[in-house]
Structure 1
Amino acid sequence: MTVDVEDYFQVSAFEPHIAREQWERLPCRVERNIERILALFEEHEIQATFFVLGWMAERYPQMVRRLSEAGHEVASHGYEHVRVVNQTPEAFRVDIRRTKALLEDTTGQPVRGYRAASYSIGRDNLWALDELREAGHDYSSSIYPIHHDLYGMPEAPRFAFRHGGEEGILEVPVTTVMLGQRTFPCGGGGYFRLFPYALSRWALRRVNRHDGESAVFYFHPWEIDPEQPRQAGVGLKTRVRHYLNLARTEARLGRLLQDFAWGRMDAIFLEGTARPALTLGQTLARQHLEQAA
C-alpha cells in the first residue's frame, strides 16, 4: 500500500494551469488528509509506504516525522513533482540527492525507495534508474507498464525486476492485470475511482491468485478530499480525471484495506516474501514465453 504525498495543486494535469510560483499562496490541505489516512490505516492495522515530496517535508516536517513514528515507510517522491522526462541527468541527480537527504534528516531513518512524479521513467530515460542506485536508493516504483497519454512503458515487465544486472536497483511497477494479450491498470489512482470497486477487487485477487504476485496500490491524499478548491479553466478530460468520485474514495479504501493484507514496500519487496526479482532481460524473456504459451 502506497501513498503519494502531494496536494491537489501539484498534480501533473494542472501544470498548465497552476504555476509553481503560486504554490505558496494556495491553501494546502495535505496535513488534514494525512491525518485521516493515518486513522484509516490504524483502524485496519496496516503499515504503508508514503512517497513524500521534499517540498512537503520542508514545510511540514512534523507531518513527515509522524508518518515514520507511526511505523510507516517514508520514501522519496522527488523534490517538487517535476517529471523526469523534463529533467536532465544532472538536474535529476541533484533533485533525488537533495530530497533523500532532506527526508532522512527529517525522520532519522534511511530512505530506500523512490517514485517518479507521474511514473515518468520509461524507455527513453532508464538512465534515471542508474542515478537512483548511485544515490543510494534500493528500489524504485516509477515505471507503469501501460499505455497512457502522460506516462507508461507498456513493454516493461509487470512485476518487480532488477535494472542493470543482479546487483542493480529493484524496480517495482504499479500493478496491472492481464486479460488475453492486453494489460489493464488496477493499482489505484484515477482508475480506482473510475471502475466499480468490485472490478478492482477482482483484478487484484487475480494478480494474487493467478500470477502469484503481491500487488502495488497507490493513491493521493487529495483523492479523499471532495471539498478541495476547484480549479477554473481546466479541460473536461482533466476535470474528470481529477474530480471523479472523490466523495466515494475513502469508503472504497476502507473496503480495500479490509479485503486484502497490506504492508510497506521495503518490508515486502526488500525483506519479505515477494518472489526474487529477475533482471530486466530475464523478466522480458519469461513474459515472452508465457505469452507464447
Structure 2
Amino acid sequence: MLMPTRPSRPRNAMTIDVEDYFQVSAFAPFIPRGDWDARECRVERNVERILGLLADQGIHATFFTLGWVAQRYPALVRRIVEQGHEIASHGYGHERASDLSPEAFRADVARAKALLEDLSGYEVLGYRAPSFSIGKGNLWAFDVLRDCGYRYSSSVYPIRHDHYGMPDAPRFAFPVREGLLEVPVTTLRLRGRNYPSSGGGYFRLLPYALSRWLIAQVNQHDQQSAVFYFHPWEIDPDQPRIEGIDLKTRFRHYVNIHRTEARIAQLLQDFDWGRMDEIFLGQAQGRRVAAAASA
C-alpha cells in the first residue's frame, strides 16, 4: 500500500541589504550624507563573513546592494556573483523612495542598476527600496521600476510601523504592474493582524526560537516561501558607536547585535534557502550583459 506523500517544505529566500552601519535611515538625522566618505567603512569585511557563512552551508542568496557601496568596492560585487549569489539593487544612495520625486527616484534606481550590471556582468532583476519605502503614497514607483527594466521588487512590508509599512498589502508575491512582481518581506497573520517574521531588528529582539517558529508557520500553514533579510552591520558588534542618537534609535540598532551572527548561522541550518530570482521568477541566473570597459 502506497503511503500519501507529504508536501515538500517551501524554499525560502535569504536576502542581505548591503549597506554600511552609518547609512541606515534611522541615523540620517545624526550623520550628514556629506560625511559618509569620512566614516570608517566596514561593509566589505562584514560581507566577506556573510559569504563564508553561506559557503559553509552551500546556500546561495540575494544581495540587495547599494550603488554607493558597489562603486567603492567593485571587487566585492564580483566576488558575490562568482560565488553563485544574485546581485540586486538597493538603489544608489540609500534615499527612501517616499522622500524622492518620480524623476529623482528614476535617476537613483537607473544609476544603481547600470552600475551593478557593469560590475557584475549580469542583468539586475530585483530592487528593494531603503526602509521598505514604497507604500500607498508613492505607488508610482512601481511604474518607474518597470520602465527601468526591473522584474521584481521587494519593497513592501505589510505591517504597521512608525517608519514604513502598508498593512493592507497582500502578504505574498503579487503582480503590481505587467512584467513586475512585488515580493513583500514575510509576515505571519494572527487574529486579524500581520506580525513581522522576516528578520531585521525583530530577529535580534525576539528569542531565536520564536523567530524560527514564525517562519515555520508560514512554510507549514500558508505553504509559502518566506523572505528573510538582514544587514552586514548586524553581525558586527565592534562597529563604531554613533554619538548623539536618541535612546529609541540606539536600542533598535544595537539590541542583541553580538548574537546575530550565531543566530544567522543557525537559521541557515534550520530551513531551506535560495535566491529571490530562483524562487519567485523561476530563473536561476539573470542573463549576461555586455562586458563594460571597467569590468
TM-score, normalised to structure 1, is 0.91
Counterpart amino acid of 1:216? V
Paired with 1:197 and 1:126, the residues of 2 have a C-alpha distance of 34
Counterpart amino acid of 2:94? H
Counterpart amino acid of 1:10? Q
2:201 is aligned with 1:209: no
Q: Quick one: percent identity of the two aligned structures?
A: 65
TM-superposed deviation, 1:218: 0.1
Q: Name the structure 2 match of 1:281.
A: none
1:200 aligned to which of 211, 218, 236: 211
Q: Name the structure 2 match of 1:173.
A: 184
Paired with 1:105 and 1:204, the residues of 2 have a C-alpha distance of 35
Paired with 2:213 and 2:273, the residues of 1 have a C-alpha distance of 16
SS in 2 for 1:162: strand
Partner deviation per Cα, 1:170-189 (whole Å, 9 max, x = no partner): 00000000111111001000
Structure 1: 5+ residue runs without aligned partners?
274-293
Partner deviation per Cα, 1:97-128 (whole Å, 9 max, x = no partner): 11100000000000000000000000110110
Structure with the larger RCO, 1 or 2 (CA within 8 Å, 6+ apart): 2
Q: Name the structure 2 match of 1:271.
A: 282
Q: Name the structure 1 match of 2:265.
A: 254
Q: Name the structure 2 match of 1:157.
A: 170
Higher helix share: 1
1:94 aligned to which of 107, 112, 115: 107
Q: Name the structure 1 match of 2:86.
A: 73
Counterpart amino acid of 1:237? K
Q: Name the structure 1 match of 2:21.
A: 8
Q: Residues 1-293 of structure 1: matches in 2 within 5 Å?
A: 1-164=14-177, 167-271=178-282
Counterpart amino acid of 1:29? R
TM-superposed deviation, 1:272: 6.5
Counterpart amino acid of 2:136? R
Counterpart amino acid of 2:218? V
Paired with 1:181 and 1:151, the residues of 2 have a C-alpha distance of 19
Paired with 2:24 and 2:180, the residues of 1 have a C-alpha distance of 26
Counterpart amino acid of 1:160? A
Paired with 1:179 and 1:199, the residues of 2 have a C-alpha distance of 14
RMSD (Å) for aligned C-alpha atoms: 1.0
Paired with 1:115 and 1:98, the residues of 2 have a C-alpha distance of 14
Counterpart amino acid of 2:196? P
TM-superposed deviation, 1:210: 0.4
TM-score, normalised to structure 2, is 0.91
Q: Name the structure 2 match of 1:291.
A: none
Q: Name the structure 1 match of 2:287.
A: none
TM-superposed deviation, 1:168: 3.8
Counterpart amino acid of 1:187? S
What count of residue pairs does the alignment treat as equivalent?
Answer: 271
TM-superposed deviation, 1:196: 0.3
